[in-house]
């Protein structure tokens, strides 16, 4: 099984690493494919994909069964469904990981209904997000297969970008050092 973990990873945090560890402990023998969005994804604060990919490689250097994909780095953004279809030529058993906080916005994604009917989703469930019942009710009109995994780490990439003084708590030391060395995000007197 290939578990595709997509996102901006801007920057990748300790929470991303802990999600990978949790998935590998639950889905033993699976492959985790990290799929960072390309540069043309519509987020103004997004740093260049080459840096995000390098940070993901640094983050996962000691993680077995984990690799970083450059699929979306090498083409115009076409949406998650297009990427999963392309990855389906490599492995026909694909699951897509999404945080419960992002699930509420999935109806705005390109061809979201086809995505939900085609691929099982692993929902990383966070306290304060939609409950399983609320999610299933929200998507009652679309065939879907959701697996919920409780994961309640309150760490975000936004916080790491906006609060340089907290980066040592939110990022691995290696990722933090990469950010400093390459002068990424807002420079601050705290770093």
Q: Sorting pLDDT into bands at 50, 70 and 90, what band is 69?
A: very high
pLDDT of residue 118: 97
CATH code of the domain in which 19 resides: 3.40.50.620
pLDDT of residue 37: 94
Supply the pTM of this predicted model.
0.93
Q: How many CA atoms lie within 13 A of 67 on its CB side?
A: 7
- Does residue 28 or residue 102 have the better pLDDT? 28
pLDDT of residue 190: 40
Residue 139 lies in a domain: yes
The partner residues of 122 in beta bridges, in order of sequence, read 97, 147
Buried-state track 39-53, b at ≥16 Cβ within 10 A, e below 16:
beeeeeebbebebbb
Q: Sorting pLDDT into bands at 50, 70 and 90, what band is 51?
A: very high
Q: Sorting pLDDT into bands at 50, 70 and 90, what band is 191?
A: very low
Residue 168 lies in a domain: no
Structure tokens at 159: 């916080």
Torsion of CA 145, 146, 147, 151, to 10 degrees: 160
Q: Sorting pLDDT into bands at 50, 70 and 90, what band is 187?
A: low
Residue 186 lies in a domain: no
pLDDT of residue 189: 39
Residue 176 lies in a domain: no
Rounded-to-integer distance, Cα 156 and Cα 173, Å: 16
Q: Sorting pLDDT into bands at 50, 70 and 90, what band is 102?
A: confident
Residue 10 lies in a domain: yes
Ramachandran assignment for 7, one of left (phi > 0), alpha (psi -120 to 50 degrees), beta (any other): left
pLDDT of residue 104: 81
pLDDT of residue 71: 95
Which domain range does residue 29 map to? 2-154
Residue 37 lies in a domain: yes
Name the burial class of residue 64, with classes exposed (0-12), middle (13-18) and buried (19+) by CB atoms within 10 angstroms of its CB. exposed
Per the structure, the count of domains in the chain is 1
Residue 124 lies in a domain: yes
Rounded-to-integer distance, Cα 20 and Cα 63, Å: 8
Q: Sorting pLDDT into bands at 50, 70 and 90, what band is 40?
A: confident
Total count of residues recorded for the chain:
191
Name the burial class of residue 5, with classes exposed (0-12), middle (13-18) and buried (19+) by CB atoms within 10 angstroms of its CB. buried
Whether residue 143 has pLDDT greater than 70: yes
Q: Residue 118: which of 145, 147, 148 has the closest Cα?
A: 145
Residue 185 lies in a domain: no
pLDDT of residue 48: 95
* Matching residue, tokens 């966070």: 126
């Amino acid at each position: 099984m290939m578990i595709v973990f997509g996102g901006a990873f801007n920057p990748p945090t300790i929470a991303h690493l802990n999600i990978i560890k949790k998935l590998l402990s639950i889905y033993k023998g699976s492959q985790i494919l990290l799929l960072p969005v390309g540069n043309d994804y519509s987020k103004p604060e997004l740093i260049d994909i080459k840096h995000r990919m390098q940070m993901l490689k640094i983050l996962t250097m000691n993680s077995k069964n984990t690799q970083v994909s450059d699929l979306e780095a090498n083409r115009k953004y076409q949406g998650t469904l297009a990427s999963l279809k392309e990855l389906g030529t490599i492995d026909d058993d694909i699951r897509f990981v999404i945080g419960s906080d992002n699930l509420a916005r999935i109806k705005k994604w390109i061809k979201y209904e086809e995505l939900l009917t085609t691929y099982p989703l692993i929902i990383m469930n966070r306290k304060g997000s939609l409950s399983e019942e609320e999610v299933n009710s929200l998507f009652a009109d679309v065939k879907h297969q959701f697996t919920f995994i409780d994961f309640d780490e309150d760490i975000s990439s936004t916080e790491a970008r906006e609060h340089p003084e907290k980066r040592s708590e939110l990022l691995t030391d290696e990722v933090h050092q990469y950010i400093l060395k390459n002068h990424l995000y807002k420079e601050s007197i705290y770093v």
